[in-house]
Structure 1
Amino acid sequence: MEMFDFFLFGFYATYISKAFFPSDNEYASLMMTFMTFGAGFLMRPLGAVFLGAYIDRVGRRKGLIVTLALMAMGTVLIAFVPSYASIGLLAPTLVLIGRLLQGFSAGVELGGVSVYLSEMATPGHKGFYVSWQSASQQVAIIVAAALGYAINVWMAPQQVGEWGWRVPFFIGCLIVPVLFLLRRSLQETVEFEQRKHRPSLGEIYRSMVQNWRLILAGMLLVSMTTVSFYLITVYTPTFGKSVLKLSTVDALVVTFCVGISNFFWLPIMGALSDKVGRKPLLLLFSALTILTAYPALVWLTQAPSFMRMLEVELWLSFLYASWNGAGVVALTEVMPVEVRTAGFSLAYSLATALFGGFTPAIATGLIELTHNKAAPGLWMAAAAACGLLATLILYRRAAVEGRALAHQRATSLTP
């Protein structure tokens, strides 16, 4: 649901900009749209703190129902807001409110689901289980891209611009009742039910403050995930149409293939991380991203074509999915159990708010500022460098803590 709406907002950014943010300057109009898209991500840290603490306090199942209700409210609002021509400044204001509601909910959505899956996983399969949270998002990308393709085939461009772009949002609203039924049927995790002490909200917040270094390191860790995901999915249609001057259909087909590629690689790499460990995959694929992201986009922009764009995006998809398959479950493992949802969600939300969510706007701005169409590749490489640094920090910390614990146990056993 979350990724379906987020992708639609990115894909139909040009139509949304004309409907809610009209301007004589196309660049300025598009930037206002992407800034509104990014504003929702600024609410994510707040959602992570308040809703994450709520889930750690009352349980995974109840919390996930609350987040869905908030997400649904934001989606319905965006789908039914009249255009600027009809209600003036109230239109962009309501769209912004809808994005803020979605952002507040999404702040804990991924964390809540990832923690739920990690606690439900059978021994030795956490990576595989948790990877399905990200893999499920790819279904949203595939369906949204397919809907966009169908709309562009069946409708004239003028119809799409006037009202056709709203159709997928309406379909998103129809999904909500099904999701409520699914979440009401969830079982609470055994690990949560067996916890004898349920920390108060105050205890959770104090623990988060005490672990601020860990949360910041976690934020750097998942910056690679957030930037690469929004670059290869949400921004790809706009990049293909506005920058590479390819057709809308070409951009949609590429995005559709990226969704399939992500869906294929994520569970495989999650399972592989269960076998070889998280650290080797994180080091390998962050290094590969640093070395190849920008050169790949340079090669694409030198002679833009459908096949080149497909090849480059599938390579970036492989890098993203391979990293993410190990990275998300790693973040659930480094967080203290009493603040697992809140800590995970805050780290992820900060990364999304500061890096990933504004990726479409940053990519657009970098191209305008540098006049270099491949500049988004530098942004992805920078995010990978953050992920590499965080991996070294977190696993060095884990090794130190492991040696300290082993020493403590050995000392306690000494007569």
Structure 2
Amino acid sequence: MTADAGATRWHQFKPVIQVASGNFLEMYDFFVFAYYAAAIGRAFFPSHDAFASLMLSLATFGVGFLMRPLGALVLGAYIDHHGRRAGLLLTLGLMAVGTVSVAVTPGYATLGIAAPLIVLAGRLMQGFSAGAELGGVSVYLAEIATPGHKGFYVSWQSASQQVAVIVAALLGVALQQELTPAQMDDWGWRLPLLLGCLIIPILFLLRSGLQETAEFATRKKRTASLSDVWRSVAANWPIVLVGAMLVTMTTVSFYLITAYTPTFGKETLKLDAMAALIVTLLVGVSNLFWLPVMGALSDRIGRRPLLIGFTLLALVTAYPVMLWLTAAPSFERLLAVELWLSFIYGSYNGAMVVYLTELMPADVRSAGFSLAYSLATAIFGGFTPAICTWLIHVTDNKAMPGVWLSCAALMGLIAAVLAERVGTAAANSRPEAMGAELSARRAS
């Protein structure tokens, strides 16, 4: 490769790094909060009952997911109306405020009731911004992609999340080796959050250099107001619903193999906590490999073959591999199962995210994408750890997470089969399509 060719490729790929960097912060903060939920609970929600303290912390974590649909509607509409660049700077700013509020707020012992209220407000703001962050990043990448490489470009939205998983897991391993449990409870849990604060200026510097996408800048017809965006999203509700079903497979598998793995490995399988963190780290590396590879493959063979093929593969294998794991739990078996599920997740999601950007109408692409993604995450994905724990408890079957993943795969399979039909029907029902059809009839 010549120097000029290398410079050209870097110039083409540089915006991918700029836009995906903020997506890293969003996922990094969510994972750090989940990893250290117990210590955060004791700092901000002290109680004589350790379970109550943990549940209050996890409830605060969950509120962030419930805020995502609202953020998708409000901020997604803002992005569709004011532009991709302006919206992505806004979501990064809101995320930054939320990250700082959790990292630097003194505990309950110092501030009293104000401490958990500040943390709760920060989590609400983070969830609100995350509701449009994923959609904004995905749409931006889809619109700047070079011809024939849209799947590869958009896959870096999810790939940047895997970097967050890797970094959070590495920090977890390092802190467990260097600090005592008492130190972790007292102040150690703040270190990963403070690191997130330190990189915020770098992320702003990267994103401030973004240019508006040419597709948005040259669009002749734009929505006149935010209310117009919301009306258009409501008119396209079948596409949003199918999109949410497509995302369900992604979000359930992702939170199953990342956020739930440390808890599942330690509490259910009774493995060493360090072993579970190492598995999570390797899953992040595996995801980071498969996502761009399969995104690029979808550019060559199409999106639907991957969507249908890997939902079927999940349906056939998810529960059997979990049965195999729980029959004789070990680090090796946990790693093998998680890497297999990582392969399924990365292959499916590498095609799904770009397909969802293509499915949404151009005038509500960010809002529609964000709402579909946020609904699936709020209802199914974010609560996957809790649902899996409950299923194991009520059935006394440690392999039940495989059943939950199979249900998500079935939903994804149905959506993949119906998506094109629903998209075509919605396109034909839009006023401009109806007007074109009426003109054609008159001409004939």
TM-score range, shorter chain: over 0.9
- Taking the aligned partners of 1:79 and 1:307, their CA distance within structure 2 comes to 35
Structure 1 contact 35–361 (Cα < 8 Å) conserved = no
Q: Deviations over 1:159-195 (max 9, x none)?
A: 1122111100100011100010011000111000111
* Alignment partner, residue 171 of structure 1: 195
TM-score, length of structure 1 as denominator length: 0.94
Q: Quick one: structure 1 residues 89 and 103, their matched pair in 2 at CA, closer, same or farther if it must change by over 3 Å?
A: same
Aligned to 1:253, which of 261, 264, 278? 278
Aligned to 1:84, which of 90, 108, 111? 108
Q: Quick one: structure 1 residues 153 and 286, their matched pair in 2 at CA, closer, same or farther if it must change by over 3 Å?
A: same
Aligned to 2:319, which of 291, 294, 308? 294
Structure 2 contact 135–367 (Cα < 8 Å) conserved = yes
Q: Cα distance, 1:403 vs. partner?
A: 10
Q: Deviations over 1:339-372 (max 9, x none)?
A: 0001100111111111111122222222233332
> 1:210-289 residue pairs with structure 2 within 5 A?
210-289=235-314
Structure 2: segments with no counterpart, 5+ residues: 1-24
- Taking the aligned partners of 2:340 and 2:271, their CA distance within structure 1 comes to 19
- Taking the aligned partners of 1:368 and 1:19, their CA distance within structure 2 comes to 28
- Taking the aligned partners of 2:442 and 2:173, their CA distance within structure 1 comes to 67
Aligned to 1:114, which of 138, 162, 169? 138
**Counterpart residue type for residue 111 of structure 1:** G
**Counterpart residue type for residue 248 of structure 2:** S
Q: Quick one: structure 1 residues 343 and 401, their matched pair in 2 at CA, closer, same or farther if it must change by over 3 Å?
A: closer
Q: Deviations over 1:278-316 (max 9, x none)?
A: 111001111111222222222212221111111111111
Aligned to 1:193, which of 199, 217, 224? 217
Q: Cα distance, 1:114 vs. partner?
A: 0.3
- Taking the aligned partners of 1:95 and 1:208, their CA distance within structure 2 comes to 32
In the alignment, does 2:128 pair up with 1:104?
Answer: yes
- Taking the aligned partners of 2:85 and 2:37, their CA distance within structure 1 comes to 34
**Counterpart residue type for residue 281 of structure 2:** F
- Taking the aligned partners of 1:30 and 1:291, their CA distance within structure 2 comes to 35
Structure 1: segments with no counterpart, 5+ residues: none
Structure 2 contact 27–161 (Cα < 8 Å) conserved = yes
In the alignment, does 2:52 pair up with 1:6?
Answer: no
CA RMSD of aligned residues (A): 2.2
TM-score, length of structure 2 as denominator length: 0.88
- Taking the aligned partners of 1:275 and 1:202, their CA distance within structure 2 comes to 38
Q: Deviations over 1:45-86 (max 9, x none)?
A: 111111111111111011100000000111111112333344
Q: Quick one: structure 1 residues 359 and 91, their matched pair in 2 at CA, closer, same or farther if it must change by over 3 Å?
A: farther
- Taking the aligned partners of 1:244 and 1:84, their CA distance within structure 2 comes to 34
Q: Quick one: structure 1 residues 369 and 36, their matched pair in 2 at CA, closer, same or farther if it must change by over 3 Å?
A: farther
Q: Quick one: structure 1 residues 251 and 334, their matched pair in 2 at CA, closer, same or farther if it must change by over 3 Å?
A: same
**Counterpart residue type for residue 153 of structure 2:** Y
**Counterpart residue type for residue 71 of structure 1:** M
In the alignment, does 2:335 pair up with 1:310?
Answer: yes
Aligned to 2:39, which of 3, 11, 15? 15
Q: Cα distance, 1:116 vs. partner?
A: 0.2
Aligned to 2:415, which of 383, 386, 390? 390
Aligned to 2:231, which of 206, 221, 237? 206
> 1:142-181 residue pairs with structure 2 within 5 A?
142-181=166-205
302-311 vs 363-372, which moves further: 363-372
In the alignment, does 2:82 pair up with 1:48?
Answer: no
Q: Cα distance, 1:261 vs. partner?
A: 0.1
* Alignment partner, residue 359 of structure 1: 384
- Taking the aligned partners of 1:223 and 1:114, their CA distance within structure 2 comes to 17
**Counterpart residue type for residue 205 of structure 1:** W
Q: Quick one: structure 1 residues 403 and 68, their matched pair in 2 at CA, closer, same or farther if it must change by over 3 Å?
A: closer
- Taking the aligned partners of 1:243 and 1:83, their CA distance within structure 2 comes to 31
133-142 vs 154-163, which moves further: 154-163
248-257 vs 101-110, which moves further: 248-257
Q: Quick one: structure 1 residues 29 and 286, their matched pair in 2 at CA, closer, same or farther if it must change by over 3 Å?
A: farther
**Counterpart residue type for residue 8 of structure 1:** V
Q: Cα distance, 1:87 vs. partner?
A: 3.7
- Taking the aligned partners of 1:174 and 1:140, their CA distance within structure 2 comes to 15
Aligned to 2:165, which of 141, 149, 162? 141
346-355 vs 292-301, which moves further: 292-301
Q: Quick one: structure 1 residues 144 and 32, their matched pair in 2 at CA, closer, same or farther if it must change by over 3 Å?
A: same
Secondary structure class of the residue paired with 2:210: coil
- Alignment length, in residue pairs? 414
Structure 1 contact 141–233 (Cα < 8 Å) conserved = yes
Aligned to 1:130, which of 154, 159, 173? 154
- Taking the aligned partners of 2:48 and 2:411, their CA distance within structure 1 comes to 38
Structure 2 contact 169–278 (Cα < 8 Å) conserved = yes
Structure 1 contact 128–271 (Cα < 8 Å) conserved = yes
Aligned to 2:351, which of 326, 339, 346? 326
Q: Quick one: structure 1 residues 80 and 363, their matched pair in 2 at CA, closer, same or farther if it must change by over 3 Å?
A: farther
Q: Cα distance, 1:272 vs. partner?
A: 0.7
**Counterpart residue type for residue 222 of structure 1:** V
Q: Deviations over 1:184-207 (max 9, x none)?
A: 000111000111232121221111
Q: Deviations over 1:66-121 (max 9, x none)?
A: 00000011111111233334444433332222111100000000000000000000
270-279 vs 191-200, which moves further: 191-200
Q: Cα distance, 1:402 vs. partner?
A: 8.9
Secondary structure class of the residue paired with 1:384: helix
